[in-house]
Amino acid sequence: MKNPYLPLPMKLVKNFTETEDKLIHTFTLQYLSEEDEKSFSYMPGQFAEVCVFGKGEAPFGIASSPTEPGFLKFSVAKVGVVSTALHLMEEGTIVGVRGPLGNYYPVEEFKGKNVVIIGGGFAFTTLRSLATYMLHPDRRGDYGDITVIYGARNPGLLLYKEELAAWEKSPDINLITTIDRAVDGWTGRVGFIPAVTEEVAPSSDNAYAIICGPPVMIKFTMPVLEKLGFPPERIIMSLENRMKCGIGMCGRCNVGGKYVCKDGPVFTRAQLNELPNEY
């Protein structure tokens, strides 16, 4: 019987301050052996319980893509015990990773389709994984147009500047970045995600929309997607209920009879429409 509570020890090799306000750090973790790497096979959208020994564990979306071998990446907001301990951690320290957990974005269904990725704030983590996965030269041909609409309060709060710069130049992806209020030197758009999505008006023909962000952003973007003609079956969301076990046993993360950890975190709007609004 495989013990689902045992973490894989990994080495934290980079503790990078991702945002200007210093509240988000991105951690690069390296496997300790090739065997360990083989044992951790994941897909974009999955998450893991990351533990700081002595402090505890907390769930984080995997921000790296399976097409990036050798390491895992997590971008973590400092909110409590485990996330703060991670932020303070020295490079070279051993942490634990339990997973991969949960389901993933339906990348098989996306084949031959246009894909519109909409992200707000620091919820962009697994969307980075997804975009990186689809943009891999071996896979890019499987998908139609890839559009990314990504917004933050100000430029300093956007994650993954390097990737954004590369995507900006790439013909393989249509990247639209937006900030809430104009600042000097900003060349992207200005405005909230729902309004920008309406302006960009990505076609819903043969397309999927994937949306992650704070509840208010989701609430106001949903009607825009509906207006654009995205049916609920082709709107994909990822939930972030509080979790502990990650394996459908501790009872914490349920939305109706579904456990977000085991049956999600990725759901279609159509699936969520059938569930009570406890998320």
Partner 1 sequence: MIVSKKEIPSFLDKLISDYQVFAPVQKGSYTLFKQICSGTDAVLDGGITKLPVKEIFFPQSEKLFSYNVTNEGAKLEAPVDDRKKVVFGVRPCDARSLTLLDNVFNNDKYQDPYYLTRRNNTILVGIGCNSPASTCFCTSVNGGPFDTKGLDLLLVDTGDAYVVEPVSDKGKELAEKAGFAAASDADKAAAAKVKEEAVVSCRVNTDGLKAKLDVNFYDPIWDRIHEKCLGCGACTYLCPTCHCFDIVDDAVDCNGCRVRNWDSCAFPLFTLHGSGHNPRSTNKERYRNRIMHKFKYFVDNFNEIACVGCGRCIKNCPVNMDIRVVLEDIRGSEARLDS
Ligand X SMILES: Cc1cc2nc3c(=O)[nH]c(=O)nc-3n(C[C@H](O)[C@H](O)[C@H](O)COP(=O)(O)OP(=O)(O)OC[C@H]3O[C@@H](n4cnc5c(N)ncnc54)[C@H](O)[C@@H]3O)c2cc1C
Binding site for ligand FES (CB under 6 A): 243-246, 248-253, 259, 261
Please, how many CA atoms are within 13 Å of residue 62, restricted to the half-sphere of its CB? 31
Range 93-122, binding ligand X (CB under 6 A): none
Instruction: Strands of 53-188 (E only): list them.
Output: 56-61, 71-77, 94-101, 114-120, 146-152, 174-179
43: its two tokens: 């897909």
Phi-psi region of 174 (alpha: psi -120 to 50; beta: other; left: phi over 0): beta
The strands making up 24-31's β-sheet, listed across from edge to edge, are 56-61, 47-52, 94-101, 8-17, 24-31, 71-77
Provide the β-strand partners of residue 210. 117, 236
As measured in angstroms, the least distance from the Cβ of 100 to partner 1 is 12
Binding residues for partner 1 (CB under 8 A): 1-7, 9, 11, 32, 51, 53-58, 77, 79-80, 83, 92-94, 96, 214-215, 240-242, 244-245, 247-257, 262, 276-279
C-alpha–C-alpha distance, residues 250 and 136, integer Å: 37
* Residues 28-47 as x/- pattern, contact with ligand X by CB under 6 A: -------------------x
* Residues 46-85 as x/- pattern, contact with ligand X by CB under 6 A: -x----------xxxx-------------xxx-xxxxx--
Range 186-245, binding ligand X (CB under 6 A): 240-241, 243
77: its two tokens: 């907001």
Closest CA to 86 of 12, 160, 9, 8: 12
Question: Binding to ligand X by residue 125, rule CB under 6 A?
Answer: yes
3-state secondary structure of 270: helix
185 binds, options partner 1, ligand FES, ligand X, none, Cβ within 5 to 8 A by partner type = none
Closest CA to 98 of 27, 50, 44, 26: 50
125 binds, options ligand FES, ligand X, partner 1, none, Cβ within 5 to 8 A by partner type = ligand X
Kindly determine how many residues on this chain lie close enough to bind ligand X according to the rule CB under 6 A.
18
The nearer residue to partner 1, 164 or 275, going by C-beta atoms, is 275
The nearer residue to ligand X, 123 or 209, going by C-beta atoms, is 123
As measured in angstroms, the least distance from the Cβ of 204 to ligand X is 27
Range 128-187, binding ligand X (CB under 6 A): none
DSSP 7: P
231 binds, options ligand X, partner 1, ligand FES, none, Cβ within 5 to 8 A by partner type = none
Binding site for ligand X (CB under 6 A): 47, 58-61, 75-77, 79-83, 125, 240-241, 243, 265
